[in-house]
Amino acid sequence: MMNQIWAGMIILGILGGVITCFGDPAGNALSVMMQDFLKSAETATEIVIGLMGMMCFWLGISRIMDSAGLTEKLAALLTPLFRVIMPEIPKGHPATGSIAMNMAANMLGLDNAATPLGLRAMKELETLNKTPGTATNAEIMFLVINTSSVTIFPVSVFLYRSKFGAADPVDVFLPILIATSCSTLAGFLAAALFQKINILKLPVLLALGGLLGLVAGVFVWSLYAGASLASQASYAANGCVLLFIGGLLAYGLLKRVPVYEEFIKGAKEGFRVCIDILPYLVAMLTAIAFLRAGGVLPLLLSGIKKLFEGLGTGTDFVDALPVAFMHPFSGSGARALMLDTFNTFGVDSLTGHIAAVMQGSTETTFYVLAVYFGSVGITRVRHAVTCGLIADFTAMVAAIVAGMLFFG
């Protein structure tokens, strides 16, 4: 499936560029397309280089956690749940602990920590793969949960809204929480359906209940925190990370773990992972560049706007859709489109609010797919793309509905 998607993106983008050239005798459209294509390959390299430091650090920290025995304890705690949703993972396998750490980092909005931990989890899951190059059910379930993961603290969205002079930068908190929860639930249910997993079992029901309880607790906190929510969320997220690192090192020393030596071993592994990622990231970003430069996205938006105008409904949300369309492909691209929406329509407009909710409600599916599966050499992704896009579509619809309800 990935072969068709990747080739289709490039071919569609080239066709769009060629069609555009009929109204552009100077040939600027093709020139822009080539520039974007070349720039995307450079961007892929820059991303990997920028990721390398944090990758080395967090895989070094993870190595200390392994040596101290904490990963094994965390895995034992979560085994009942993972035995249901990822039955391929044996009891006590270290992948369970790494997946849990990745999910926690995603919830806290800590992308720099979540990616290295997620890649480590994918490496450990690959050790159970009996058909290298083809994604297993467990790897797909993990990827879908990762790309649609509930984000409790979308701090970056708050900060960008503040920079653009929003009257209340955190007023999108609850709509984002609603949209990201819908995304996670949809992605999980889609993967469970494909994999024929019975979700009506106690561990799954307890986990879903715990998630709902967490969301409800954060909602109550938001009511009391008010305008100071952004700063409190930032302190909470960063404080949790610092306490975790300090506590882990102290625990490692008490257990007589050679923490420095173990950290260096893990950091070396992080460097190798970054090198493995680069070809897959180049492939994905160049395909996205062709699609964007070919003018396919503006044409699609124009058609959608005409459709809803014909139905007699509001179209304010249509101008925010580029954020949702770009988000599965590029987080930085979606962020740029969100900021452009703020600048064009106003940060406190309905369109601006919906764009912010879209930005904070889901992860970058194709980027995560390229990076995570690329790190272990997977080329046959099976139903991973379908489930990820179902989660993305659900997040988009939920963001529009929540935005209209709260700010319309």
What would the pLDDT profile of 275-305 be if each residue is shown by its tens digit?
Answer: 877 787 777 777 777 777 777 766 776 777 7
Residue 253: the pLDDT is 94
Q: What gap in Å lies between CA 264 and CA 57, rounded to an integer?
A: 9
Q: What gap in Å lies between CA 131 and CA 202, rounded to an integer?
A: 31
φ, ψ (nearest 5 deg) of residue 295: 80, 15
Please say whether the beta carbons of 361 and 399 come within 8 A.
Answer: yes
- Based on the structure, what is the number of domains in the chain? 1
Please say whether the beta carbons of 296 and 12 come within 8 A.
Answer: yes
Residue predicted with more confidence, 326 or 333? 326
Please say whether the beta carbons of 345 and 163 come within 8 A.
Answer: no
**Which residue matches tokens 């290298």?**
132
The whole-model pTM stands at 0.72
Eight-state DSSP code of residue 131: S
Range of the domain at 21: 2-407
φ, ψ (nearest 5 deg) of residue 152: -75, -40
Please say whether the beta carbons of 292 and 322 come within 8 A.
Answer: no
Q: What gap in Å lies between CA 11 and CA 278, rounded to an integer?
A: 22
Q: What gap in Å lies between CA 220 and CA 207, rounded to an integer?
A: 20
Lowest mean pLDDT, pick from 28-37, 53-62, 362-371: 28-37
pLDDT classification of 26: cutoffs 50, 70, 90: low
Please say whether the beta carbons of 149 and 395 come within 8 A.
Answer: no
Mean pLDDT confidence for 46-68? 80
Residue 195: the pLDDT is 93
Q: Which residues does 203 contact at the CB level (< 8 Å), separation at least 6?
A: 80, 81, 83, 84
Eight-state DSSP code of residue 349: S
The beta-carbon contacts of 92-98 under 8 Å, at least 24 apart in sequence, are: 93/124, 93/128, 94/66, 94/124, 95/121, 95/124, 95/125, 95/127, 95/128, 95/138, 97/65, 97/70, 97/71, 97/72, 97/73, 98/62, 98/71, 98/124
Residue predicted with more confidence, 140 or 305? 140
